[in-house]
Amino acid sequence: MVHRIIQAVAGSGKTYYITHDIDPTKRYLFVTFTNGNVDNIRNELIDSKQILNHYSVSTFSKFLIDWCLKPFVSKMIPVGISQHNGEFTEISPPEARDDNGNYNPKYFKQDNYKHYLDKYNRMYLNRISTLVKFNLQKNREYKELVLKQLQTFVDKIIVDEYQDLTGAEFNVLVNLMKLTKKSIPFLLVGDFLQSGVSQSTRNSTSKLIDIKNVDDLGALLKKKIWQYN
């Protein structure tokens, strides 16, 4: 199974391509960064007269919640994460250091469920990607469950505007591509030179910050996705 990347600048017709040049017998999962792009993709799919139950379109965050979190929270680590009450919060979680650089006693590391849940057992929205990545890397049962669900309902995954995925999100994408490399192809579409994410955020969290050309991108992804151990 081969994963592909299409480097396409804005206005080049990539949305039209990914919604019209598809196999009507396959089931597609479209993932993008913003709600606006979700609407654009859905409108193009309707225009192309695709069968409605053959595709699903969502933001990357909603994809993680619906496909990688909610169905399997009882199987996830660290121990205690199953206490999640199903609600999410946009409140910023405690960081390891306070504004003065001092250690914050209210901070919990990634191997503690309190890193992801507040005192009401709501999950921090900005740590969902970290939790999914943690489980994809360390939880074999969870990986098998995620893979089985994707194989059951999806034939191909298309990620639009992949360059807007920041640190943990991009790591999740890479881990999912490694997980599905023998069964479900990914197509990544976007322009790594044009990100909708603020440059300061991208600089601090994205692995794409050092990518200057297509060869650099290929080297990064080959090492992490196509290289077999």
How far apart CA 16 and CA 47 sit, in angstroms, is: 10
**Regarding beta strands 123-124 and 156-160, do their DSSP bridges make them parallel or antiparallel, or are they unpaired?**
unpaired
Per-residue confidence (pLDDT) for residue 224, from 0 to 100: 56
What are the average pLDDT values for consecutive 10-residue runs of the chain, which has 229 residues? Answer: 78 88 93 94 92 92 96 97 97 90 92 97 97 96 97 96 86 92 91 57 52 66 48
What is residue 200's predicted lDDT score, i.e. its pLDDT?
A: 40
User: pLDDT of 190-209, one tens digit each?
Assistant: 877 665 544 444 444 555 65
Question: For position 222, what pLDDT does the model report?
Answer: 62
| DSSP run (H or E) holding 88 | strand 88-89
Please state, in angstroms and rounded to a whole number, the distance separating the CA atoms of residues 69 and 75: 10
CA distances from 100 to 58, 95, 107 (A): 39, 12, 15
Per-residue model confidence (pLDDT) at position 212: 63
Q: Are 35 and 161 in contact (CB under 8 A)?
A: no
**Among 120, 121, 188, CA closest to 160:** 188
